[in-house]
Amino acid sequence: MRLQSAGKIRMKYQKGQSGNPKGKAKGAVCKFTTLKAAFLNVFERMGGEDALLEWTKVSNHNTAAFYQWITKMLPADVNLGNALDADGKSQALIIKVIHTRDGDGGGNGDSAK
């Protein structure tokens, strides 16, 4: 935060000092945690993993949409490590996720754009 006095700009805090030295108050509600809990609650009430799996099987469009969601939820820089040495199913999933990220609809010929 900058303050101005007598034509000079001075900083309220020293360089490198936090604007909130005491940090977050104990017991403070994290909005992200609350939102995540609400999302998971609705997801379970809609049928959870089983319902999501069945939804992806309805059409290639749904499958491609699912892979697009995965790419949006993963960090931009994912270290695959030894995943490329894994079984064929893992390799196929990785390839579908990469194809989806690159915009070809999950590599299944059905674009979800």
- Which has more confidence, 107 or 76? 76
Range of the domain at 44: 26-51
Distance CA 99, CA 95 (A): 6
The verdict on residue 19 lying in a domain is: no
Residue-wise pLDDT tens digits, 51-86:
999 999 999 999 999 988 888 887 777 666 666 555
- Per the structure, the count of domains in the chain is 2
Assign 24 a pLDDT band (cuts: 50, 70, 90).
confident
pLDDT of residue 6: 59
Tell me which residue of 42, 37, 104 sits closest to 52, measured CA to CA. Answer: 42
pLDDT of residue 108: 47
Distance CA 46, CA 39 (A): 11
94 plus 45 within the same structural domain: no
39 plus 68 within the same structural domain: no
The verdict on residue 42 lying in a domain is: yes
81 plus 112 within the same structural domain: yes
69 plus 98 within the same structural domain: yes
Tell me the average pLDDT of the chain: 75
